[in-house]
Protein backbone atom coordinates (compact mmCIF):
# COMPACT_ATOMS: atom_id res chain seq x y z
CA UNK A 1 0.00 0.00 0.00
CA UNK A 2 1.32 3.37 -0.98
CA UNK A 3 2.35 5.65 1.80
CA UNK A 4 0.21 8.72 1.85
CA UNK A 5 1.49 11.89 3.34
CA UNK A 6 -0.32 14.79 4.88
CA UNK A 7 -1.50 16.84 1.95
CA UNK A 8 -0.86 20.06 3.76
CA UNK A 9 2.80 19.42 3.20
CA UNK A 10 2.54 18.43 -0.44
CA UNK A 11 4.16 19.95 -3.48
CA UNK A 12 1.37 22.26 -4.24
CA UNK A 13 -1.47 24.02 -2.66
CA UNK A 14 -3.08 23.27 0.63
CA UNK A 15 -6.31 21.31 0.20
CA UNK A 16 -9.23 22.94 1.89
CA UNK A 17 -7.66 26.31 1.32
CA UNK A 18 -10.66 27.91 -0.25
CA UNK A 19 -9.80 29.69 -3.42
CA UNK A 20 -11.66 30.11 -6.68
CA UNK A 21 -10.12 28.37 -9.66
CA UNK A 22 -9.01 29.83 -12.97
CA UNK A 23 -9.76 33.14 -14.58
CA UNK A 24 -11.14 35.41 -11.88
CA UNK A 25 -8.44 34.30 -9.47
CA UNK A 26 -5.68 34.89 -12.00
CA UNK A 27 -7.19 38.25 -12.85
CA UNK A 28 -7.35 39.29 -9.20
CA UNK A 29 -3.72 38.26 -8.75
CA UNK A 30 -2.72 40.25 -11.80
CA UNK A 31 -4.53 43.34 -10.61
CA UNK A 32 -2.88 43.01 -7.25
CA UNK A 33 0.56 42.53 -8.80
CA UNK A 34 0.04 45.48 -11.11
CA UNK A 35 -1.08 47.74 -8.28
CA UNK A 36 1.95 46.70 -6.24
CA UNK A 37 4.27 47.47 -9.14
CA UNK A 38 2.83 50.94 -9.55
CA UNK A 39 2.81 51.93 -5.95
CA UNK A 40 6.00 50.44 -4.57
CA UNK A 41 9.74 50.55 -5.02
CA UNK A 42 11.53 47.46 -6.37
CA UNK A 43 12.37 46.37 -2.85
CA UNK A 44 8.79 45.26 -2.28
CA UNK A 45 7.91 41.68 -3.17
CA UNK A 46 5.22 41.07 -5.72
CA UNK A 47 2.78 38.20 -5.97
CA UNK A 48 2.58 37.22 -9.64
CA UNK A 49 -0.35 35.46 -11.34
CA UNK A 50 -0.10 31.67 -11.64
CA UNK A 51 -0.29 29.86 -14.97
CA UNK A 52 -3.05 27.25 -14.77
CA UNK A 53 -3.62 24.01 -16.70
CA UNK A 54 -4.19 23.63 -19.69
CA UNK A 55 -2.14 26.75 -20.57
CA UNK A 56 0.49 25.56 -23.11
CA UNK A 57 3.09 27.75 -21.36
CA UNK A 58 3.36 24.94 -18.78
CA UNK A 59 4.68 22.65 -21.53
CA UNK A 60 7.54 25.01 -22.44
CA UNK A 61 11.11 23.95 -21.69
CA UNK A 62 12.85 26.55 -19.51
CA UNK A 63 16.24 28.07 -20.38
CA UNK A 64 19.29 27.90 -18.09
CA UNK A 65 20.29 31.04 -16.20
CA UNK A 66 23.80 32.15 -17.19
CA UNK A 67 24.38 35.07 -14.80
CA UNK A 68 22.74 36.20 -11.59
CA UNK A 69 21.34 39.58 -12.53
CA UNK A 70 18.93 41.89 -10.70
CA UNK A 71 16.21 40.48 -12.94
CA UNK A 72 16.91 36.98 -11.55
CA UNK A 73 17.01 38.27 -7.97
CA UNK A 74 13.64 40.01 -8.41
CA UNK A 75 12.23 36.89 -10.09
CA UNK A 76 13.35 34.67 -7.19
CA UNK A 77 11.94 37.10 -4.65
CA UNK A 78 8.59 37.32 -6.41
CA UNK A 79 8.47 33.53 -6.74
CA UNK A 80 8.97 33.13 -2.99
CA UNK A 81 6.21 35.65 -2.32
CA UNK A 82 3.87 33.99 -4.83
CA UNK A 83 4.63 30.55 -3.34
CA UNK A 84 3.77 31.69 0.21
CA UNK A 85 0.69 33.54 -0.97
CA UNK A 86 -0.75 30.49 -2.77
CA UNK A 87 0.18 28.79 -0.36
CA UNK A 88 2.49 26.10 -1.71
CA UNK A 89 5.78 24.48 -0.80
CA UNK A 90 7.41 24.72 -4.22
CA UNK A 91 7.26 26.82 -7.37
CA UNK A 92 8.98 26.79 -10.76
CA UNK A 93 9.43 30.07 -12.68
CA UNK A 94 7.39 28.77 -15.61
CA UNK A 95 4.38 28.67 -13.28
CA UNK A 96 4.44 32.47 -13.30
CA UNK A 97 5.15 32.47 -17.03
CA UNK A 98 8.94 32.90 -16.94
CA UNK A 99 10.81 30.19 -18.91
CA UNK A 100 13.97 30.27 -16.79
CA UNK A 101 15.40 27.38 -14.78
CA UNK A 102 14.61 28.79 -11.34
CA UNK A 103 12.83 26.91 -8.54
CA UNK A 104 11.87 28.01 -5.03
CA UNK A 105 11.05 25.54 -2.25
CA UNK A 106 10.20 25.76 1.43
CA UNK A 107 9.09 22.46 2.95
CA UNK A 108 8.68 23.90 6.45
CA UNK A 109 5.21 23.58 7.92
CA UNK A 110 3.10 26.71 8.05
CA UNK A 111 3.55 27.06 11.80
CA UNK A 112 7.34 26.86 11.46
CA UNK A 113 9.68 29.72 10.51
CA UNK A 114 9.99 30.40 6.80
CA UNK A 115 13.10 28.93 5.21
CA UNK A 116 12.99 29.32 1.43
CA UNK A 117 15.72 27.99 -0.87
CA UNK A 118 16.28 29.24 -4.42
CA UNK A 119 17.56 26.56 -6.82
CA UNK A 120 18.98 27.93 -10.09
CA UNK A 121 19.61 25.46 -12.95
CA UNK A 122 18.91 22.51 -10.62
CA UNK A 123 19.74 19.04 -11.87
CA UNK A 124 19.46 15.61 -10.30
CA UNK A 125 22.95 14.11 -10.24
CA UNK A 126 22.02 10.99 -8.27
CA UNK A 127 18.78 9.21 -7.34
CA UNK A 128 18.17 6.31 -4.98
CA UNK A 129 16.84 3.01 -6.24
CA UNK A 130 14.29 3.00 -3.47
CA UNK A 131 11.10 4.69 -4.51
CA UNK A 132 8.45 6.44 -2.49
CA UNK A 133 4.86 7.34 -3.28
CA UNK A 134 3.52 10.78 -2.47
CA UNK A 135 0.11 12.22 -3.04
CA UNK A 136 1.17 15.25 -5.08
CA UNK A 137 -0.58 18.46 -5.96
CA UNK A 138 0.43 21.45 -8.05
CA UNK A 139 -0.37 25.16 -7.87
CA UNK A 140 -0.99 25.07 -11.63
CA UNK A 141 -3.55 22.28 -11.20
CA UNK A 142 -5.52 23.51 -8.18
CA UNK A 143 -7.45 21.08 -6.01
CA UNK A 144 -6.31 17.97 -7.87
CA UNK A 145 -4.10 15.31 -6.30
CA UNK A 146 -2.57 12.07 -7.45
CA UNK A 147 -0.11 9.48 -6.19
CA UNK A 148 3.27 9.65 -7.91
CA UNK A 149 6.16 7.23 -7.39
CA UNK A 150 9.64 8.78 -7.49
CA UNK A 151 13.10 8.06 -6.06
CA UNK A 152 13.06 8.43 -2.28
CA UNK A 153 16.38 10.28 -2.13
CA UNK A 154 18.19 12.46 -4.65
CA UNK A 155 21.33 14.52 -4.89
CA UNK A 156 20.78 17.84 -6.63
CA UNK A 157 23.34 20.26 -8.06
CA UNK A 158 22.30 23.89 -8.48
CA UNK A 159 23.52 27.47 -8.39
CA UNK A 160 22.53 29.73 -5.52
CA UNK A 161 21.81 33.47 -5.72
CA UNK A 162 25.50 34.17 -5.03
CA UNK A 163 26.37 32.30 -8.20
CA UNK A 164 27.98 29.42 -6.27
CA UNK A 165 27.50 25.80 -7.32
CA UNK A 166 26.02 23.77 -4.49
CA UNK A 167 25.31 20.05 -4.09
CA UNK A 168 22.65 18.91 -1.69
CA UNK A 169 21.18 15.57 -0.70
CA UNK A 170 17.48 15.47 -0.13
CA UNK A 171 15.00 12.92 1.08
CA UNK A 172 11.30 12.73 1.87
CA UNK A 173 9.18 15.70 0.88
CA UNK A 174 12.15 17.82 -0.28
CA UNK A 175 13.27 15.03 -2.65
CA UNK A 176 9.75 14.73 -4.08
CA UNK A 177 9.42 18.49 -4.41
CA UNK A 178 12.74 18.91 -6.19
CA UNK A 179 11.82 16.24 -8.72
CA UNK A 180 8.35 17.75 -9.20
CA UNK A 181 9.75 21.26 -9.76
CA UNK A 182 12.61 20.13 -12.03
CA UNK A 183 9.95 18.34 -14.10
CA UNK A 184 8.25 21.74 -14.53
CA UNK A 185 11.49 23.16 -15.99
CA UNK A 186 11.26 20.47 -18.67
CA UNK A 187 7.57 21.06 -19.39
CA UNK A 188 6.55 17.95 -17.44
CA UNK A 189 3.64 17.95 -14.99
CA UNK A 190 2.95 15.47 -12.19
CA UNK A 191 -0.18 14.34 -14.02
CA UNK A 192 2.16 12.97 -16.71
CA UNK A 193 3.17 10.33 -14.15
CA UNK A 194 -0.45 9.18 -13.71
CA UNK A 195 -2.40 6.80 -15.95
CA UNK A 196 -3.49 8.20 -19.30
CA UNK A 197 -7.10 7.85 -18.21
CA UNK A 198 -6.61 9.98 -15.08
CA UNK A 199 -4.48 12.52 -16.95
CA UNK A 200 -6.94 12.93 -19.81
CA UNK A 201 -9.78 13.31 -17.32
CA UNK A 202 -8.11 16.16 -15.38
CA UNK A 203 -6.95 17.96 -18.54
CA UNK A 204 -10.48 17.81 -19.89
CA UNK A 205 -11.89 19.14 -16.64
CA UNK A 206 -9.50 22.11 -16.58
CA UNK A 207 -9.99 22.84 -20.28
CA UNK A 208 -13.71 23.03 -19.62
CA UNK A 209 -13.20 25.35 -16.64
CA UNK A 210 -10.91 27.62 -18.70
CA UNK A 211 -13.52 27.82 -21.44
CA UNK A 212 -16.18 28.68 -18.90
CA UNK A 213 -13.97 31.43 -17.41
CA UNK A 214 -13.25 32.88 -20.83
CA UNK A 215 -16.94 33.04 -21.71
NI1 LIG B 1 3.74 21.92 -9.70
Q: Give the catalytic positions in this structure.
A: 181
**116 vs 106: CA distance, rounded Å:** 5
CA 137–ligand 1 middle distance (angstroms): 7
User: Strand 117-127 and strand 131-138: pairing?
Assistant: unpaired
Lowest mean pLDDT among 29-43, 127-141, 163-177: 29-43
Domains and CATH numbers, the chain: 2-214 (3.90.45.10)
Confidence at residue 116, expressed as pLDDT on a 0 to 100 scale: 97
Q: Is 120 exposed, middle or buried (0-12, 13-18, 19+ CB in 10 A)?
A: buried
CA atoms of 132 and 119, how far apart (whole Å) = 23
CA of 64 to the centre of ligand 1 (A): 19
pLDDT class for 171, splitting at 50, 70, 90? very high
Q: How much is the pLDDT for 42? A: 52
Could you tell me how many residues make up the chain? 215
Instruction: Give 36-84 as a 3 state SS string.
Output: HHHHCCCCCCCCCCCCCCCCHHHHCCCECCCCCCHHHHHHHHHHHHHHH
Measured in Å, residue 21 CA sits from the centre of ligand 1 at 15
- Ligand 1 centre from 58 Cα, in Å? 10
Q: How far is the CA of 185 from the centre of ligand 1 (A)?
A: 10
Assess whether the previous peptide bond of 103 is cis (omega < 30° from 0).
Answer: no
Task: Give the per-residue pLDDT at 214.
Answer: 87
In this structure, of 33-37, 53-57, 112-116, 141-145, the range with the lowest mean pLDDT score is 33-37
Q: Rounded mean pLDDT of the chain? A: 87
Band (23; pLDDT cuts 50, 70, 90): low
Q: What is the mean pLDDT of residues 126-138?
A: 97
pLDDT greater than 80 at residue 7? no
Q: Provide mean pLDDT across the span 157-179.
A: 98
Instruction: Report d(CA 12, CA 135) in Å as an integer.
Output: 10
- pLDDT digits over 83-121, tens only? 999 999 999 999 999 999 999 999 998 889 999 999 999
Q: Are 100 and 18 in contact (CB under 8 A)?
A: no
Amino acid sequence: MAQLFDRRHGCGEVPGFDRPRGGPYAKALFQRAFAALQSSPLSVMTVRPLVILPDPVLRQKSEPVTTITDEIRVLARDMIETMYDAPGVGLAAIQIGVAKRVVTIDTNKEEEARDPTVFINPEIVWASEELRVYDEGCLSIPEFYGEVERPDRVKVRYMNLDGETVEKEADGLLATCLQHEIDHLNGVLFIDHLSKLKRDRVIKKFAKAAKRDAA
